[in-house]
Amino acid sequence: MVMATAPGKIILFGEHAVVYGRPAIAVPVFQVETQVSVEEWRGTQVRIDAADIGREYDMADVPPTDPIAAIIRLTCAALGIEPRGLSVRVRSTIPVARGLGSGAAVSVATARAIARYYGRDLSREQASALAFEVEKLHHGTPSGVDNTVVAFAEPIYYVRGKPFERFRTAAPFHLAIADTGIPSPTLITVGDVRRLWEADKTRYEIMFDQVGEIVREARNRIEGRSPADLGQLMNRNQELLREMGVSSPEIERLIEAARRAGANGAKLSGGGRGGNIIALVEEQARERVASALTQSGAASVIVTRVE
Ligand code: PMV
């Protein structure tokens, strides 16, 4: 039996605008992960066991767009192998459709496990590229930020269609990540933003430009020694996301709770309308912010250190 893993992720700045060519910053979240194991299975079938999401099936019985079947086929095609007689077991602590990169992590971990089973190793570029193909099946127009940060498992500055840039975190900082408990498929929010952009391109392009400025400034501050100032930029990014129409009352409630409890700034992360919010927290405010978020209805709170 072989096994492979991939972490979750969050977008720090720039979601949605990144689909329109502006930069985004994303970081891996190692407190949650997907684990995939592959072993021999009698007969010729490819058995997929994804019990966490309540599914166990044969690859032959699902449409080719099934995300796990799709990544198995894509990986095997890239390796020049016909998949048969396999049991693929997927386990994940990354909640689905909450902006934590669950889809990308399942793809990256599955691609790696399949390759390893056949005695091959995928580079991080290859794992990312294969996962991107699955993102396209499901998101329509993904920017590629999710598969990149999950496959490379390091903070990235990302512009669609370009090689990502690594950057230095001058001083580590902490984020509280709080789940609204509401699943929000990226496909829907990305589609809604596209319709709104089509109806008023001038207004949306201005908002995307403003987000782009925030992202560039955020990178400067992370590389310099002033991560506390990031809070203000998170608040400004959130205002723009609200104006774009992707916030929600649940998101606003958690953001408000975090700010009141002493967070330096907060915003939604990912597609929006549900999913997770992130809040910048200093050492002494960590506990207070985490418990305020729980009291305000967060389904879970993770505190992560970015470095
Ligand atoms: O997968 P999520 O929910 O983290 O959202 C992805 C971020 C978007 O910018 C909204 C879409 C994309 O493809 O970058």
The per-residue pLDDT for range 3-47, each reduced to its tens digit, is 999 999 999 999 999 999 999 999 999 999 999 999 999 888 999
DSSP assignment of 107-144: HHHHHHHHHHHTT----HHHHHHHHHHHHHHHHSS--S
| Residue 54 clears pLDDT 90, i.e. is over it | no
Nearest atom of ligand 1 to the alpha carbon of 272: 3
Residue 146 is among the residues annotated as catalytic for this protein: yes
Question: What is the pLDDT, as a whole number, of residue 152?
Answer: 97
What would the mean pLDDT of 243-261 be, rounded to a whole number?
A: 98
Question: What is the pLDDT, as a whole number, of residue 229?
Answer: 85
Given the residues 49, 58, 146, 179, the one annotated as active site: 146
Residues contacting residue 282 through CB under 8 Å, at least 6 positions apart: 174, 228, 262, 264
The predicted-structure confidence for 154-170, as pLDDT tens digits, reads as follows 999 999 999 999 998 99
| Residue 52 clears pLDDT 90, i.e. is over it | no
- Any atom of ligand 1 within 6 Å of the Cβ of 33: no
Question: What is the pLDDT, as a whole number, of residue 53?
Answer: 77
Distance CA 118, CA 36 (A): 14
pTM value?
Answer: 0.94
| Residue 146 clears pLDDT 90, i.e. is over it | yes
- Any atom of ligand 1 within 6 Å of the Cβ of 159: no
What would the mean pLDDT of 240-245 be, rounded to a whole number?
A: 98
Distance 264 CA to ligand 1 centre (A): 24
- Any atom of ligand 1 within 6 Å of the Cβ of 177: no
Q: Are 36 and 18 in contact (CB under 8 A)?
A: no
- Any atom of ligand 1 within 6 Å of the Cβ of 257: no
Q: Whose CA is nearest to atom 14 of ligand 1?
A: 143
The predicted-structure confidence for 80-127, as pLDDT tens digits, reads as follows 999 999 999 999 999 988 999 999 999 999 999 999 999 999 999 999
Distance 47 CA to ligand 1 centre (A): 30
DSSP assignment of 193-204: HHHHHHH-HHHH
Confidence class for position 139, pLDDT limits 50, 70, 90: confident
- Any atom of ligand 1 within 6 Å of the Cβ of 15: yes
